[in-house]
Chains A and B, each alone.
Chain A
Amino acid sequence: MAKVFIYPTTSLILSDLVARYGHTPLSSAIAIRERVQTAGLESVPLQITPEEPKKGLKWAAVEVPSGVRGRMALYGPMIESCEAAIIINDADLAFGCMGCARTNELIKFLIRQKEVPKIDLNYPKNEEDGVKFVAAIKRFLKGLEGAK
């Protein structure tokens, strides 16, 4: 069983796939709803305080916007502890998304730097690509140690 970081972290589909193959998804598991009535697309389920952006200084310097550092306080530890990672680029908003492009750049970079098994895919644009996309993720998850 591996701890698998998923990007975008809000993707319930990815989170579910990881769990199905016996691994632990590292994600925030926030549903992106059809109607957005919160401040952001992936509004936090817990109360973030001004202390989080300070904790985020471990991953991003003080000249980096506070929103990036606040997110890093949440996702930085997940990236550090992950044993595998899935990155999906240019995903549809409904698939799962993270509101800040600068955080997204940093998170993807940190994962790519980390020496763990990873898969880096583009979001499929049609059904045929979609089938290949799911198959590639399945193969990746099955190949990880401790897979079901």
Chain B
Amino acid sequence: MTTPVRIAQISCGPEYSGVQQEINEAAKAVNGEIFFPDIALKDIIRDFDAFGLDVRSPDLKLAIARAKALVDGRVDADAVFIATCFRCAEAAIVRNELRHYIHDHSKLPVVSYSFTERTTAGTLLTRMEALTTIARRRALLARETQQGLTLGVDSGSSTTKAVVMKDNTIIGTGWQPTTEVLKSAEDVIGDALKEAGITRDEVEAVGTTGYGRFLVGKKINADLIQEELTVNSKGAVYLADHQHGPATVIDIGGMDNKAITVQDGIPGTFTMGGICAGASGRFLEMTAKRLGVDITELGPLAMKGFAGHVPMNSYCIVFGTQSLVNALAAGSSREDVAAAACHSVAEQVFEQQLQEVDIREPVIMVGGTSLIEGLVYAMGELLQTKIMVPRYSQYIGAVGSALLASGFIRDD
């Protein structure tokens, strides 16, 4: 058993919300250990005053003092978990500022989260896994080229993807909607191997990621089973050929969204999920269906329309669909409705999630939705930057897994 990753918890409210046990369990599941930085009572006010953010809650003052102790090196930690109550404005300000502060003044990986009493260990698991991976596996994440013959599988909530890579080149791909997790994985692996013209026995190492990573990884005896935050970060900078310096990776998925600030291919701060279906790829699927076009046609259609002609701005997939139906009934063109749907999703992600990370250029969009031209355009407009969409961006998790898996090839 390796030494647990020591995760410093900086928080306000988890105990009285009844979720401290869930946080502990999520950390423990990925061999992490939550601890609360030891602070002298007399130092709290001194450090809080020095920080200069005048909040009233004593536990937020304690959080500020703890962040300062970590940055000043008075407390040792491998990673930081910042958590405060959802819907508390004062805590949200502190959470964001501490995340910035620790990120700017230390090398500690940080994840921040706002919880309710419904938060479970399962919800936190991927975030904790990413946090411990960044702390523990820096050497693995430093890999920049793929070597040998490897297979990567991304068992996502909407689609399952597989990629076969050989000596830094993608030679086979497979993609299909996720139905039965294992069967979908077997099918895409078969497709990728067939396209690559190789057999399963020739593969030297395998990596899995995505929601079904544990199930699929166990079944196919994967060498690497890894959450999608670190895998997608590596895959994105690899495919975009931007492995050095800062970057931001955005992945608008079928069930949740990921926004990751990356430095030299390693995630610094990240946010995942947390908002409603009106801001997911699922809403765009529904829009395409209602407009009677294939999802692959939605992007080009949106590019011909003008989003400003149709009012659409909802976190909720039901209300978003209602706006869509109303617009069509009022005589709006399909092009304008498609553009409005793309703008609406981009706007929700921008307002709800991208404020949680520090946007650093280049911005790289990945995942299946990055192929929807109208969505990429809308995001570029909101961020006032040109968005990069690398080739094979829809296979991002599978590529990242195949790349990282090559670190597990044994020299015989």
Report which A residues bind B (CB closer than 8 A).
32-41, 43-44, 47-54, 63-71, 74, 93-94, 97-102
**Is B40 among interface residues, defined by CB-CB distance under 8 A?**
yes
Would you call A99 and B19 a contact (CB within 8 A)? no
**Is B36 among interface residues, defined by CB-CB distance under 8 A?**
yes
Would you call B85 and A66 a contact (CB within 8 A)? yes
Q: Known contacts A43-B15, A66-B115, A70-B117; is A93 also within 8 Å of B57 by CB?
A: no
Would you call B39 and A67 a contact (CB within 8 A)? no
Q: In the assembled complex, how far is the CB of residue A82 from the closest CB belonging to chain B, in whole angstroms? A: 20
A66 to B91, CA, bound (A): 12
Given contacts A34-B42, A66-B86, A70-B17, 15 further A-B contacts (CB under 8 A): A35-B41, A36-B36, A39-B9, A41-B59, A43-B15, A48-B15, A48-B17, A50-B19, A66-B18, A67-B16, A67-B88, A68-B13, A93-B41, A93-B45, A100-B16
Main secondary structure of the interface of A (DSSP, over half): loop
Within 8 A of A (CB), among B127-174: none
Report which B residues bind A (CB closer than 8 A).
9, 11-21, 36, 38-42, 44-45, 55-60, 62, 85-88, 90-91, 115-118
Q: A36 is contacted by which of B16, B41, B88 (Cβ under 8 Å)? A: B41
Q: Known contacts A40-B62, A93-B58; is A65 also within 8 Å of B41 by CB?
A: no
Task: Find the residue from B9, B40, B57 having the highest chain A CB count within 10 A.
Answer: B57
A52 to B18, CA, bound (A): 7
Would you call B44 and A36 a contact (CB within 8 A)? yes
> What are 14 residue pairs bridging A and B, where the CB atoms are less than 8 Å apart in the complex?
A34-B40, A34-B42, A35-B38, A36-B62, A40-B12, A41-B58, A49-B18, A50-B118, A52-B16, A52-B18, A53-B17, A66-B13, A67-B17, A99-B57
List B contacts of A66 (CB < 8 A).
Answer: 13, 16-19, 85-86, 115-117
Q: In the assembled complex, how far is the CB of residue B309 from the closest CB belonging to chain A, in whole angstroms? A: 34
Would you call B40 and A44 a contact (CB within 8 A)? no
List B contacts of A94 (CB < 8 A).
Answer: 41
List A contacts of B55 (CB < 8 A).
Answer: 101
List B contacts of A68 (CB < 8 A).
Answer: 13, 16, 85, 88
Would you call A53 and B18 a contact (CB within 8 A)? yes
Would you call B41 and A99 a contact (CB within 8 A)? no
A37 to B87, CA, bound (A): 26
Task: Find the residue from B16, B41, B58 having the highest chain A CB count within 10 A.
Answer: B16
The 6 lowest CB-CB distance pairs between A and B, nearest first, are: A67-B13, A99-B59, A70-B16, A65-B85, A101-B56, A66-B17
A67 to B12, CA, bound (A): 8
Closest Cβ neighbor of A36 among chain B residues: B39
List B contacts of A48 (CB < 8 A).
Answer: 15-18
List B contacts of A93 (CB < 8 A).
Answer: 41, 44-45, 58
Would you call B117 and A54 a contact (CB within 8 A)? yes
Q: Known contacts A93-B44, A99-B58, A101-B56; is A65 also within 8 Å of B18 by CB?
A: no
Q: In the assembled complex, how far is the CB of residue A78 from the closest CB belonging to chain B, in whole angstroms? A: 15
List A contacts of B15 (CB < 8 A).
Answer: 39-40, 43-44, 48, 70
Would you call B58 and A37 a contact (CB within 8 A)? no
List A contacts of B14 (CB < 8 A).
Answer: 39, 67
Q: B87 is contacted by which of A54, A64, A101 (Cβ under 8 Å)? A: A64
A33 to B190, CA, bound (A): 62
Would you call B18 and A70 a contact (CB within 8 A)? yes
A99 to B12, CA, bound (A): 8
